[in-house]
Amino acid sequence: MFGENAKSVSESDVVFSSRIRLARNFKNYPFPFRMNEKQCREVIEKVKDTVFSTSYAAADSFRFYDISSMDPIERQAMVEKHLISPDLAAMQTLSGVIISKDENISIMINEEDHLRIQCLYRGMQLDRAWENCKRIDSMLEEKIDFAYDNSFGYLTCCPTNVGTGMRASVMLHLPALVMTGYIKGILDACSKLNVAVRGIYGEKSDASGNMFQISNQVTLGLTEEEIISSITNISSQIIQQERTLRSELYRQNSYRFEDRVFRSYGLISNARILSSEEAMKLLSDVRLGVDMGIIKDVDIDTLDEIMDITQPANLQKITGKALSAGERDIKRAEIIRDRLRHRPNT
């Protein structure tokens, strides 16, 4: 999923990924839901022309995908890899996405807004994501007139995005907070701080695999840097609490802790039938074990790959054919075993 090694990235024991996305709209076009086909096509072409003619997109570092002509499994596979939003995948009108080769940058066209610029990195790298978003934004702004109001800022289809048009988010792995039940307090505090908490697969998903996405709810009246700083600060506190609880749980009963992570490892590396839900749950324990140095000989990159594989559409994409839910559970277990094989138990 990511173009870099997990261990080289800061806070990667708790922070799975960092993401910035900017909402932008063309000045002289209605919002996507009111555009006709001709206008949709013009917007797509204008964005493509801009991206592929700049030196930024030198050589073959970007690629365009016509969402409208992709089959549902292909679209869903992109959603599962966080390259596009569920909304874009569900679009009935002409839409597309431009994705960088390393899959860190994606520019969605004709989603809720004309443009959704997204930069996604492993670990805690909001600043890097913001730097790259800014660069893409400037590049586009050179050729495109964005809808901008001097007092409101960037105008967007949904009023909640007006202003900076920015959403900064971090995906946190919080198994210890969940185990102890302290997660409830965190969620309450977040809602009071205008911070949104979601599951790993977007707005309506639950916290599968103990993954929680923390993001800003307010985009107006704050600078981009203030938003990033606020999410960074809140994340830091949550990260610290998660780490403290992990150590404390381990200190209190190391055998029970090890028992839990190794049982999950034993199950995920031996099961013949695995639902996506169970795989995510087991992966969370194994990831915790690896992050705490309890499980050796399994690397985080393998776990990230397995997390992609466990999702239904990516599984079918790898297999090369549509599978029923029952067939997927068998195939999922088979591929996971294959990825984990030849790794001795410690």
In the complex, the smallest distance separating the C-beta of residue 73 from a second copy, rounded to whole angstroms, is: 23
Question: Given the complex with a second copy, which of 40 and 249 has the nearer CB atom?
Answer: 249
* Cβ at position 345, least distance to a second copy in Å: 6
Give one DSSP letter per residue of 288-313, joined into a string.
Answer: HHHHTTSS-S--HHHHHHHHHHHSHH
Neighbours of 307 (CB within 10 A): 24
CA nearest neighbour of 11 among 276, 197, 239: 239
Q: How many residues does the chain have?
A: 346
Of residues 170 and 279, the one with the C-beta less far from a second copy: 279
Phi first, then psi, for residue 19 (nearest 5°) are: -145, 135
Q: 132 or 264: whose CB is closer to a second copy?
A: 264
Nearer to a second copy, 258 or 305 (CB): 258
Question: What is the smallest separation between the CB atom of 327 and a second copy, expressed in angstroms?
Answer: 10
Hey, is 121 helix, strand or coil? strand
Closest approach of a second copy to the CB of residue 271, in Å: 5
CB 180, min distance to a second copy, A: 19
In the complex, the smallest distance separating the C-beta of residue 295 from a second copy, rounded to whole angstroms, is: 10
Question: Which residues of this chain interact with a second copy, rule CB under 8 A?
Answer: 255-256, 258-259, 262-263, 265-273, 330, 333, 337, 341-342, 344-345
Q: How far is the CB of 175 from a second copy (least distance, A)?
A: 17
For a second copy, the closer of residues 143 and 263 by Cβ is 263
Return the number of the residue (78 or 268) whose C-beta is nearest a second copy: 268
Nearest one of 105, 129, 109 to 65, comparing CA atoms: 109
Residues 251-289: b if buried by 16+ CB within 10 A, e if exposed = eeeeeebeebbbebbebbbebeebbbebbbbbbbbbbbb
What ranges in the chain are assigned the alpha helix state H? 37-53, 72-80, 86-89, 126-143, 175-180, 183-192, 224-252, 254-268, 276-291, 300-310, 312-319, 325-340
